[in-house]
């Protein structure tokens, strides 16, 4: 049986697909809330297209328990599941952590966890709905790490992991485990599994058409004339 990632790779082929084309297709299909906030930056790895299915980690603020006399879990017990110990093979997957609105004042991961998740578990990329820390390590990662900013503060004592492998939210975008995540230097796009092949097929056709237009522009033709003829830009 052909794996979903192989099907996606075959659909893309050798086309240099960008998230710009994916969003243009999604717009044409009436799909909104697919682009993660523009304040998220690509901090490491290659800037060409990286993709995989999402595996989510949902974070929430730490609140007092029902009984103030009841001992609270240790801060480590509250956050340890962000390392997704249930996952031993991240190949074909993108790690996605979110806390709703961008969490810019505390890091959702750091150098050790980034190294572990990318190099030992094998995730294709890490997407964080907020900050990361340990800049010197993160910027050396061979695969993409997407985050809002660097900050020295971590989440322990202030946030806890609510669920893993279900869903999370980053800004206005809800990401469900199994959704497809596409990352390049332009940004990060989330596409539902049930429409991903349709989107990719249309995006590949669009990229091919735009490559022909670009070739004509480089050959000296005015862009407005080409668009008048073909109706695409």
Give domain limits for the chain.
1-32+192-233, 37-180
Give kind and range of the element (H or E) at residue 169. strand 167-170
Does domain 37-180 fall into CATH 3.10.20.740?
Answer: no
pLDDT for 232: 64
Using the 8-state DSSP alphabet, how is residue 118 labeled?
A: I
Give residue 69's pLDDT.
72
21-47: per-residue pLDDT in tens? 999 999 999 998 999 999 999 888 778
Q: Is 60 exceeded by the pLDDT of residue 198?
A: yes
98: pLDDT confidence band, cut at 50, 70 and 90?
A: very high
pLDDT digits (tens, 9 = 90+) for 43-63: 887 788 999 999 999 999 998
Residue with tokens 């890091």: 107
Q: Measured between alpha carbons, how far is 36 from 122 in angstroms, rounded to an integer?
A: 23
Burial track 86-113 (b if 16+ CB lie within 10 A, e otherwise): ebeebebbbbbbbbbebbeebbbbbbeb
**CA-derived radius of gyration, the chain:** 20
């Amino acid at each position: 049986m052909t794996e979903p990632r192989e099907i996606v790779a075959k659909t893309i082929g050798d086309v240099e697909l960008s998230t710009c084309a994916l969003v243009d297709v999604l717009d044409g299909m009436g799909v909104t809330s697919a682009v993660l906030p523009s304040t998220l930056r690509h901090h490491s790895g290659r800037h060409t297209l990286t993709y995989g299915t999402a595996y989510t980690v949902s974070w929430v603020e730490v609140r007092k328990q029902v009984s103030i006399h009841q001992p609270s879990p240790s801060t480590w017990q509250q956050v340890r599941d962000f390392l997704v110990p249930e996952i031993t093979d991240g190949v074909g997957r993108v790690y996605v952590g979110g806390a709703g609105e961008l969490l810019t004042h505390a890091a959702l991961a750091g150098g050790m966890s980034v190294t572990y998740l990318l190099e030992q578990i094998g995730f294709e990329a890490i997407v964080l709905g907020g900050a990361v820390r340990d800049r010197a390590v993160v910027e050396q990662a061979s695969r993409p790490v997407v985050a809002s900013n660097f900050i020295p503060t971590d989440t322990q004592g202030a946030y806890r992991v609510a669920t893993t492998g279900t869903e999370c939210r980053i800004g206005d975008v809800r990401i469900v485990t199994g959704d497809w995540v596409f990352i390049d230097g332009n940004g990060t796009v989330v596409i539902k599994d049930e429409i991903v092949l349709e989107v990719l097929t249309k995006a590949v056709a669009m990229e091919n058409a735009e490559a022909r237009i670009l070739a004509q522009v480089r050959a000296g033709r005015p862009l407005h004339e080409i668009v008048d003829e073909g109706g695409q830009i």
